């Protein structure tokens, strides 16, 4: 049960949008600041004032949806709750288009059942969160409809996202239109620990295009080798198997626009799996679950999505110095993307994709498209992004004024670079969208969990000790699942 909880939590980290401000789903989750006491030392987050005139030209020729309501089915509300302010996207949607969003509540466990029952019963539902299962599985189950008739993807606002959007094209249609990247898999580390162990700063290596698997594994071996008598050290903790594979730029399942193909025998993927095998064999990996970089100086790297950075900062510096604006200027911790395959041509990013789905049968295509466009404008316009940054670097405190999390300006700026598809290429694998046999938890044993789960974790978990064996056990299953989709 402990192992199940640990891994499920890691998976949730990679499927939850909005961990840090700047680009996300706009969910009103608990990561946002609670009201603080009057004598709190930390600056409070002010309401966002959105200048909607910045988008006048961008929306001038859009369909008139004034007075329309879109029904949003999800386990979180896009409307403000708990005295929170509206997101930029919602402000634009309401104030510029004159439309609104009505929340249809469900739980994370029941949302797909609720979606199916509302579609079947004719109950109103227009917009649904994007998840990896959307394409091709959700499309083939008649849950979604394409956005091509409602969004002009040749519009300049989409230019930076064109390659990302086209990755999701299925049977010539765009069912998924990401407006930004989210939840990148990052490595958090301590600069002082690197210096004390005679190691280079990974962030400096990244800026010099020298941050690759070789540097990564050599640093871990040195760090563990420097352990004193009776001291236990690890090179890495957290979730990183998927990032390891995708840093090659390759996917287990590829798609040429017509047919899916099994790429499990790729030499690049084999190199990634062999590296994971080496990490496990040399006992560089600590499988213990933490929600932050361990603060006992036992672990060099912590692999997790960006949501864990703020908590890691507090664990390592719970009483930071503030500047006059109420921001934390410095922290010993820093973040880097997963290192690149030495044989790859560029950095590739394991991340999530912020998007909304147009539900099958909805007659609000123009309105849903307008909301998606509002999310894109919020993610690309400098003035909105500057405001998002200012809010993101304000320390997050609880009702008693106790510090919960924070990010520094340096960390925030680095994170935005990592989420910029012009600088790092994101990877999408259709295998994660092929149903529970390919990507599912089961009861989380090797025999019952999804193929994709096993391919990225079995070597690290010790379920198998050879990539050759692991590959051969699951290759035919991938072939069978792919054939099912290719024959539809």
Average pLDDT over residues 33-61: 68
pTM confidence score: 0.91
CATH class given for the domain over 45-182+354-394: alpha beta
The pLDDT tens digits of the residues spanning 287-316 come to 999 999 999 999 999 999 999 999 999 999
Two structure tokens written together for 51:
């200048």
Confidence of residue 441 (pLDDT cuts 50, 70, 90): confident
The DSSP element (H or E) to which 69 belongs, if any, is strand 69-74
Q: Please check whether residue 377 is in contact with residue 371, taking contact to mean a CB–CB distance below 8 angstroms.
A: no
Confidence of residue 188 (pLDDT cuts 50, 70, 90): very high
pLDDT above 70 coverage of the chain, percent: 90
Q: In the block, which residue shows the tokens 């603060």? A: 295
Give the whole-angstrom CA distance, residue 56 versus residue 54.
6
Select 185-350+402-488's CATH number: 3.30.450.20, 1.10.40.50, 3.40.190.10, 3.40.50.2000: 3.40.190.10
Q: Assess whether pLDDT exceeds 50 at residue 11.
A: no
Give the pLDDT confidence score for residue 326 in this predicted structure: 87
Give the pLDDT confidence score for residue 85 in this predicted structure: 87
Two domains, one topology: 45-182+354-394 and 185-350+402-488: yes
Confidence of residue 62 (pLDDT cuts 50, 70, 90): very high
The pLDDT tens digits of the residues spanning 144-162 come to 999 999 999 999 999 999 9
The pLDDT tens digits of the residues spanning 85-100 come to 899 999 999 999 999 9
> C-alpha angle 200/204/208, rounded to 5°?
115
The DSSP element (H or E) to which 167 belongs, if any, is helix 162-167
Average pLDDT over residues 186-203: 98
Q: Assess whether pLDDT exceeds 60 at residue 32.
A: no
Give the whole-angstrom CA distance, residue 326 versus residue 86.
23
The pLDDT tens digits of the residues spanning 410-420 come to 999 999 999 99
Q: Give the closest residue to 90 by CA, choosing from 70, 118, 75, 106.
A: 70
The pLDDT tens digits of the residues spanning 352-376 come to 999 999 999 999 999 999 999 999 9
Q: Assess whether pLDDT exceeds 50 at residue 211.
A: yes
Give the pLDDT confidence score for residue 321 in this predicted structure: 92
Cα 125 to chain center, whole Å? 25
Domain ranges of the chain: 45-182+354-394, 185-350+402-488
Q: Assess whether pLDDT exceeds 80 at residue 140.
A: yes
According to DSSP, the residues that pair with 70 across neighbouring strands are 101
Give the whole-angstrom CA distance, residue 243 versus residue 101.
35
pLDDT above 90 coverage of the chain, percent: 84
Give the pLDDT confidence score for residue 24 in this predicted structure: 53
Q: Give the closest residue to 419 by CA, choosing from 287, 250, 273, 305.
A: 305
Q: Which of 172-181, 193-202, 319-328, 420-429 has the lowest mean pLDDT?
A: 319-328
Q: Assess whether pLDDT exceeds 60 at residue 346.
A: yes
In a 13 Å sphere around the CA of 271, the CA atoms on its Cβ side amount to 16
Between 33 and 393, residue with greater pLDDT: 393
Q: Assess whether pLDDT exceeds 60 at residue 47.
A: no
């Amino acid at each position: 049960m402990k192992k199940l909880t640990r891994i499920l939590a890691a998976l949730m980290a990679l499927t939850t949008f909005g961990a840090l401000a700047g680009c996300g789903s706009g969910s009103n989750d608990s990561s946002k600041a609670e009201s603080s006491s009057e004598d709190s030392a930390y600056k409070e987050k002010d309401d966002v004032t959105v200048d909607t005139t910045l988008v006048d030209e961008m929306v001038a020729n859009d369909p008139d949806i004034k007075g329309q309501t879109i029904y949003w089915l999800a386990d979180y509300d896009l409307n403000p709750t708990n005295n929170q302010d509206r997101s930029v996207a919602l402000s634009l949607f309401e104030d510029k288009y004159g439309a609104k969003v009505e929340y249809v509540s469900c739980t994370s466990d029941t949302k797909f059942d609720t979606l199916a029952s509302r579609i079947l019963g004719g109950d109103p539902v227009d917009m649904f969160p994007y998840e990896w299962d959307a394409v091709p599985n959700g499309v083939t189950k008649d849950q979604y409809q394409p956005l091509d008739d409602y969004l002009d993807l040749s519009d300049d606002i989409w230019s930076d996202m064109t390659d990302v959007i086209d990755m999701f094209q299925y049977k010539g249609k765009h069912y998924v239109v990401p407006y930004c990247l989210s939840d990148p898999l990052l490595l958090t580390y301590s600069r002082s620990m690197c210096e004390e162990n005679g190691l280079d700063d990974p962030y400096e290596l990244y800026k010099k295009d020298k941050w690759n698997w070789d540097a990564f594994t050599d640093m871990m071996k040195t760090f563990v080798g420097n352990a004193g008598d009776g001291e236990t050290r690890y090179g890495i903790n957290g979730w990183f198997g998927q990032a390891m594979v995708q840093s090659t730029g390759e996917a287990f399942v590829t798609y040429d626009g017509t047919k899916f193909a099994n790429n499990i025998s790729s030499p690049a993927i084999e190199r990634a799996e062999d590296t994971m095998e080496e990490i496990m064999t040399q006992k560089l990996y600590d499988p213990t679950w933490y929600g932050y970089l361990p603060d006992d100086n036992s672990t060099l790297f912590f692999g997790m999505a960006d949501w864990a950075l703020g908590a890691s900062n507090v664990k390592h510096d719970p009483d930071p110095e503030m500047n006059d604006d109420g921001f934390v200027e410095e922290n010993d911790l820093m973040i880097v993307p997963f290192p690149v395959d030495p044989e790859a041509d560029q950095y590739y990013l394991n991340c999530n994709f912020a998007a909304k789905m147009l539900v099958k049968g909805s007659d609000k295509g123009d309105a849903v498209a307008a909301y998606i466009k509002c999310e894109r404008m919020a993610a690309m316009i400098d003035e909105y992004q500057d405001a998002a940054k200012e809010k993101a670097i304000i320390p997050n405190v609880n009702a008693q004024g106790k510090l919960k999390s924070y990010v520094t300006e340096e960390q925030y700026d680095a994170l935005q670079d990592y989420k910029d598809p012009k600088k790092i290429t994101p990877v999408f694998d259709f295998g994660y969208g092929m149903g529970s046999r390919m990507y599912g938890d089961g009861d989380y044993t090797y025999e019952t969990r999804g193929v994709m789960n096993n391919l990225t974790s079995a070597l690290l978990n010790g379920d198998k000790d050879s990539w050759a064996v692991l590959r051969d056990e699951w290759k035919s299953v991938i072939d069978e699942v792919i054939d099912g989709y290719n024959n539809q």
